[in-house]
Amino acid sequence: MERVGRGRARRAARRRGVMLALLVLLVAVFVVTLTVGRTFYPLDDVVRVILGEQVPGASFTVGRLRLPRAVLALVAGFSFGLAGVTFQTMLRNPLASPDVIGISSGASAAAALAIVTLSLGGAQVSVFAIAAGLAVALLIYVLAYRDGVAGTRLILIGIGISAMLDSVVAYVLSQATEWDRQEAMRWLTGSLNGASWDGIAPAAVALAVLSPVLLRQSRGLRAMQLGDDTAAALGVRVERTRVVVVVAAVVLIAFATAAAGPVAFVAFLSGPIAARLVGPGGSLLLPAGLVGALLVLVADLAGQFAFGTRYPVGVVTGVLGAPYLVHLIIRTNRAGGSL
C-alpha cells in the first residue's frame, strides 16, 4: 500500500508540474503574440493598452488587432482541445475527434453554402455553422446508436458523413465566383485574421458555461474508458453522461468553429499530447484544453513570422496533424488493432 501511495503521489506531482509548465508557456506565448509583429511594443505599453490607456500606435495595433487575435486563439484552442479529448476518452479511440468524425465538416459545409449560395456573411455564417455542427452530430449519433453507441461504429459513420460533406464543399466552391471562393476558403482553412470582440464573445460564453459541465463529468468519462458495463457497476449513469458530454462538446466545437473556422487537427492532437505529458491517471480534460490553446497560439505565431509568407493558423496545424494521423493509422494496423 505504501508503494501504491508513493506512485500516486509521484503521478500527482507530475500532473501539477505539467499543468504549471503549460500555464507558464501559455502566458509567455500570449505575451510574445502581443509584443512582436511588424512593430515591436514593449511590455509596459501592452499592459497600459490592456488597462484601457491610450498609447499612440499601440492602442490600435495591440488593442484592436493583436489582443482580439490572441484571445480568440486561447478560446478556440481551449475549446477544440477540451471537446476533442472528451470524444476520445468517451469512445476510447484517439481517432474519435470532432474534426475526424465529421462534426467540423458539417459546420464547414454550412458555412460554404451560406457564403457562396446565400451570400451571407459575419454572424449569419456563424449561425449556420453552429446549427449544422449540432445537426450533423445528432445524425451521427442516431445512425451509430444500436443498443448503445459503439466507438468504432460512430467513427466509421462519422468518417463517411465527413467525406460526403467535403464533397458538398468542393462542389459549392466549384460553382462560386472568385470573390466568394476566396472568402469561403479563408473561413474553411481556419484563420484568426479579422478577429473581433463581437465574434469572440459567443465562443467565450460557450466555453465559460460548458467547460465546467465537462469537467464535472470527468469521473464518469474515466469510468467509461473501462466499458459501459463496468462504468454502470461503478455507479455511472452511462447514457445520461454520454448525452451530456456529447451535447456540451459539440456545442463547444460549433461555437469555436464559427469564431475561428475549422482549425485542423487541434482537437485531434491535444489529447494525445496531454496524455504523453501528464502520464497515466487523472483526467485529461484540463491539460488537453491548455495544450489546445498553446497549439493554436504557437501555430498562429509561426504562420505569421516563421516563413517567408504568412499562412493561416489552420495551414500550420494541418501540417502538424496530418503526419500524426498517418502514424496513428500505421501503428494501429501493425498492432493488429481496428480503427
Q: Within a domain: residue 307?
A: yes
What is the spatial distance between Cα 121 and Cα 113, in angstroms, rounded to a whole number? 11
> How is 190-250 classified by DSSP, letter by letter?
---TT--HHHHHHHHHHHHHHHHHHHHTHHHHHHHTT-HHHHHHTT--HHHHHHHHHHHHH
Residue 59, pLDDT score? 86
Percent above pLDDT 90 for the chain: 22
Report in angstroms the alpha-carbon separations of 120 from 192, 201, 202, 262: 19, 20, 19, 18
Higher pLDDT, 261 or 300: 300
Place of cell 456529447: 246
- Residue 80: pLDDT above 60? yes
Q: Specify the pTM.
A: 0.89
> Quick one: cell of 35?
509584443
Q: Number of folded domains in the chain?
A: 1
> Quick one: cell of 316?
500550420
Residue 151, pLDDT score? 64
Residue 270, pLDDT score? 92
**Closest to 38 measured CA to CA, from 314, 304, 307, 299:** 304
Q: Within a domain: residue 6?
A: yes
Q: Within a domain: residue 339?
A: no
Residue 339, pLDDT score? 42
pLDDT digits (tens, 9 = 90+) for 129-148: 888 888 888 888 888 877 66
How high is the mean pLDDT of the chain?
84
- Residue 1: pLDDT above 80? no
- Residue 337: pLDDT above 50? no
What are the b/e assignments for 122-144, b being 16+ CB within 10 Å? eeebbebbbebbbbbbeebbeeb
Report in angstroms the alpha-carbon separations of 178 from 116, 174, 175, 184, 262: 10, 10, 9, 10, 21
The answer to whether 178 and 164 are in contact (CB under 8 A) is: no
Report in angstroms the alpha-carbon separations of 288 from 32, 192, 244, 277: 22, 21, 19, 10
pLDDT digits (tens, 9 = 90+) for 224-276: 877 777 878 878 887 788 888 888 998 888 888 888 888 988 998 899 899 88
- Residue 70: pLDDT above 50? yes
CATH code assigned at 133: 1.10.3470.10
Q: Within a domain: residue 140?
A: yes
For residue 294, the enclosing domain spans 2-334
Who's near 90: CB < 8 A, 6+ residues apart? 96, 151, 221, 224, 242, 245, 246
The answer to whether 69 and 192 are in contact (CB under 8 A) is: yes
Q: pLDDT tier at 338 (50, 70, 90 boundaries)?
A: very low
What is the spatial distance between Cα 301 and Cα 296, in angstroms, rounded to a whole number? 8
Q: pLDDT tier at 8 (50, 70, 90 boundaries)?
A: confident
Q: Within a domain: residue 79?
A: yes
- Residue 210: pLDDT above 90? yes
Percent above pLDDT 70 for the chain: 93
Q: Within a domain: residue 147?
A: yes
| Segment of 102-116, 223-237, 247-261, 292-306 carrying the highest mean pLDDT | 292-306
| Segment of 69-83, 136-150, 159-173, 182-196 carrying the highest mean pLDDT | 69-83
For residue 175, give the amino acid letter. Q
**Closest to 271 measured CA to CA, from 104, 110, 82:** 82
- Residue 31: pLDDT above 80? yes
Q: Within a domain: residue 272?
A: yes
- Residue 13: pLDDT above 50? yes
- Residue 336: pLDDT above 60? no
